[in-house]
Structures are given as C-alpha cells and as structure tokens.
C-alpha cells in the first residue's frame, strides 16, 4: 500500500535546503517549514500511538483534560451525543508553533505534508530508569545515527523513555509530581532540540511523556527553541515500544480547529 501523501503530486513540493540556510541566518525566526518531497513507502500494519482520552488521563494542570456532558441519549432522543469540554494540551496531542510564539502557525495551518513523515525512535529507557528528569541528549542522537544512519529528511524524532506504559498503569508516576508540586519525567534537552533544528531536517519531535521539556523544567526551553521555528511537537505518545527505531511512517491526525495552539490527535505509525 502506498502511504497517503507520498504520491508524485507531493514530489513537486519545495526543496527545504534553501529554507534551512534562511532559517539559520534569521536565527530560527518564526517561519513555516515549506512542504517537501516524500519518497514512496509501503507498510503492512498500523500501530496506534494514541492513548485513550478520558477525564482520568493525567494532565499538566491536574484538572481533567476532557469533560463529556451527555446532551442527547439514545433511549430518550433516539440518538447519542456528548458536548466535549477539552483542554487543547492534554492526552495524546499536538503542540502547534503558535503555542510558543506570537505569530506561528496554528494547527489548522500546518501543511499536511509535514504531518505524514518518517519516524525515528530514540530509545532512552535505560537512562530514564536511572534519572526521571532525563533530557534526551546530542549523544543519544549520535548513537541512533551510528546504528541507523543519518536521520531521514523531514522526519519526526520521538523520545521513547518507557513512560508511555505508566499513563494507564501508574498515572501518579507518569505525572511524576513530587510533594512540592514539581514534575519529574524525561524530555528533550534544549541542546538536542537546537542541534536537530540546525543540523538536521526534522518536521517535529515527539515524547511519550507530558512535555517536550523534562518534568522539572521551569522555563520550557525546549518548547521555546523548537516551536517558534515553525515545527510541531507531540506529547503523551503511546506504544513507542511497538514500533521499530527506523522505517515506520508517522501519521499525525490532529484536529483541524481554526487558530488552535494544538489539540487532541490520533497518532498512527505505519510499519
Ligand atoms: Zn502541549
């Protein structure tokens, strides 16, 4: 099967090389990443990288990320319908560039070519076991490239810390909140994010924890480095242990809501 978006019509899209030179010169100004050519890929199975959303899913704010109010009931009304009250940044969700920039792209403005991309999974399960506030490092990326070659053009780099399983198995540990209210979970170090931005062609980064930054971060430096560049992030990604470190295609089915800074997403890996 050919992945949607991989056909020849995408091949005429703009080359990124010129953009990267420009972005470096502009100090990573808030600029949309142009659409790019994608190579044809095939797949034999689909892995769901999405957690089931519910009012019980751990959130950064500590309040339910979704509330569902029954508006119509089949027994009475002959159809079912809920009103949802949803926080944009809860559950498996997208961070759009506008989340951390004044004039960045909102979710509805992201080019679809940047939402179907090669997936590179960086395993830091061992490091995260030793240090809950582990920041994925430049060295981790170098090790991935030693093993698999250069990060594929236009890819998503995903942090696999092992935290994903905790979201349902041990929600308190997943959130990692200590007695002082400080979170502790792995994320991307700002240095690794800056390196990816400058040295590689990456559409987005993903984490199996609640934030692109490590839990104890107060300044959200990784968010600040990454999102204003016009790239996206994914948080609370599930099942990264069920996909290969390289070779899968990521499909980010983010809800297309006007001016949204992110939002619930159905995230799939085509393996
Ligand atoms: Zn978010």
- How far is residue 245's CA from residue 160's CA, in Å, rounded to a whole number? 9
Residue 20 has pLDDT above 80, yes or no: no
Q: How far is the CA of 231 from the centre of ligand 1 (A)?
A: 13
Q: How far is the CA of 90 from the centre of ligand 1 (A)?
A: 7
Residue 12 has pLDDT above 60, yes or no: no
Q: How far is the CA of 32 from the centre of ligand 1 (A)?
A: 19
- How far is residue 226's CA from residue 12's CA, in Å, rounded to a whole number? 27
Most distant CA pair in the chain: distance in Å?
63
Q: How far is the CA of 89 from the centre of ligand 1 (A)?
A: 4
Q: Helix H segments across the chain?
A: 8-11, 17-25, 74-77, 125-130, 138-148, 166-169, 171-175, 190-199, 221-226
Q: Give 17 or 116, the one with higher predicted confidence.
A: 116
Mean pLDDT, rounded, for 31-39:
57
Q: pLDDT tens-digit profile of 39-90?
A: 677 899 999 999 999 999 999 888 999 999 999 999 999 999 999 999 999 9
Which two tokens mark 22? 């420009």
- How far is residue 248's CA from residue 232's CA, in Å, rounded to a whole number? 18
Distance of CA 13 to the CA centre of its chain: 23
Q: How far is the CA of 214 from the centre of ligand 1 (A)?
A: 13
Which two tokens mark 173? 């540990």
Which two tokens mark 193? 């994010």
- How far is residue 102's CA from residue 133's CA, in Å, rounded to a whole number? 29
Task: Give residue 42's pLDDT.
Answer: 86
Q: pLDDT tens-digit profile of 231-256?
A: 999 999 999 999 999 999 999 999 99
Q: pLDDT tens-digit profile of 167-200?
A: 999 999 999 999 999 999 999 999 999 999 999 9
Q: How far is the CA of 175 from the centre of ligand 1 (A)?
A: 14
Q: How far is the CA of 104 from the centre of ligand 1 (A)?
A: 15
- How far is residue 121's CA from residue 158's CA, in Å, rounded to a whole number? 5
The DSSP letter of residue 1 is: -
Q: Kindly report the pTM of this predicted structure.
A: 0.86
């Amino acid at each position: 099967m050919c992945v949607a978006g991989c056909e020849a019509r995408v091949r005429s899209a703009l080359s990124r090389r010129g953009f990267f030179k420009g972005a470096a010169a502009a100090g990573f100004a808030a600029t949309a990443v142009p659409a790019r050519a994608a190579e044809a890929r095939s797949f034999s199975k689909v892995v769901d990288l999405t957690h089931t959303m519910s009012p019980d899913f751990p959130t950064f704010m500590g309040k339910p990320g979704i509330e569902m109010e029954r508006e119509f009931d089949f027994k009475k009304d002959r159809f079912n319908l809920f009103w949802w009250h949803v926080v944009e940044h809860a559950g498996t969700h997208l961070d759009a560039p506008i989340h951390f920039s004044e004039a960045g792209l909102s979710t509805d403005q992201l080019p679809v070519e940047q939402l179907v991309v090669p997936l590179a999974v960086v395993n830091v399960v061992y490091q995260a076991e030793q240090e809950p506030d582990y920041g994925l490092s430049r060295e981790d990326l170098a090790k991935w490239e030693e093993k698999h070659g250069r990060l594929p053009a236009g890819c998503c780099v995903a942090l696999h810390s092992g935290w994903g399983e905790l979201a349902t198995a041990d929600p308190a540990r997943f959130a990692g909140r200590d007695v002082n209210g400080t979170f502790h979970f792995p994320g991307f170090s700002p240095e690794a994010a800056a390196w990816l931005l400058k040295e590689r062609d990456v559409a987005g980064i993903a984490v199996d924890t609640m934030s692109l930054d490590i839990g104890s971060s107060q300044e959200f430096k990784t968010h600040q480095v990454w999102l204003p560049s016009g790239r996206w992030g994914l948080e609370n990604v599930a099942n990264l242990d069920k996909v290969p470190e390289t070779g899968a295609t990521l499909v980010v089915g983010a809800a297309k809501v006007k001016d949204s800074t992110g939002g619930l997403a159905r995230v799939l890996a085509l393996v």
